[in-house]
């Protein structure tokens, strides 16, 4: 099982969305380390490279619309890697396309969340997902 101390890896290229996740964690006093990768390639490097600050997150929050390597391509690479295939992934994206949703679930994601438009809805969604996975109490 994943421990909260192993942190969360947010794979997101949009600075505003990164700040929104950070604000949502702070709003609900969720003190779990947040690591940010701006591209899927950078995320794979953080997860694989033993020469760097390799991390083993308890959860990956993944945007699908990323530069160079898409979120679906990232999932494909993650699930093909024997050392990484068991990592928990939640898709957090603006795409509400049925094809994107189906593709993500083909790669065994925990959940698929379309980014809410208001901060309050976003913060509530982040708290619910992270609270469930890490066993946090409401507070």
Q: Quote the pLDDT of residue 3.
A: 39
pLDDT class for 12, splitting at 50, 70, 90? very high
Question: Which of 35-39, 48-52, 61-65 shows the lowest mean pLDDT across its residues?
Answer: 48-52
Does this model's pTM top 0.85?
yes
Question: What does the pLDDT look like over 17-42, one tens digit per residue?
Answer: 999 999 999 888 888 899 999 999 99
Backbone angles phi, psi at 10, to 5 degrees: -100, 120
Question: Which of the two residues, 14 and 125, has the higher pLDDT score?
Answer: 14
Structure tokens at 132: 């469930």
Average of per-residue pLDDT across 99-104? 96
pLDDT class for 98, splitting at 50, 70, 90? very high
Signed CA dihedral, 120, 72, 96, 14: sign only: positive
> Which of the following CATH numbers is that of domain 4-134: 3.90.1150.10, 3.40.50.720, 3.40.50.2300, 3.60.150.10?
3.40.50.2300
3-class SS of residue 1: coil
């Amino acid at each position: 099982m994943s421990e909260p101390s192993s942190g969360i890896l947010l794979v997101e290229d949009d600075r505003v969305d990164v700040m929104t996740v950070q604000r949502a964690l702070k709003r609900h006093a969720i003190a779990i380390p947040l690591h940010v990768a701006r591209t899927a390639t950078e995320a794979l490097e953080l997860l694989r490279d033993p020469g760097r600050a390799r991390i083993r997150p308890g959860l990956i929050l993944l945007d699908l619309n990323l530069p160079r390597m898409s979120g679906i391509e990232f999932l494909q690479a993650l699930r093909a890697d024997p050392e990484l295939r068991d990592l928990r992934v939640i898709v957090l994206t603006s795409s509400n396309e049925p094809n994107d949703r189906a593709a993500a679930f083909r790669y065994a994601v925990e959940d698929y969340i379309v980014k809410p438009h208001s901060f309050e809805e976003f913060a509530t969604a982040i708290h619910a997902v992270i609270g469930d996975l890490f066993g946090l109490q409401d507070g």
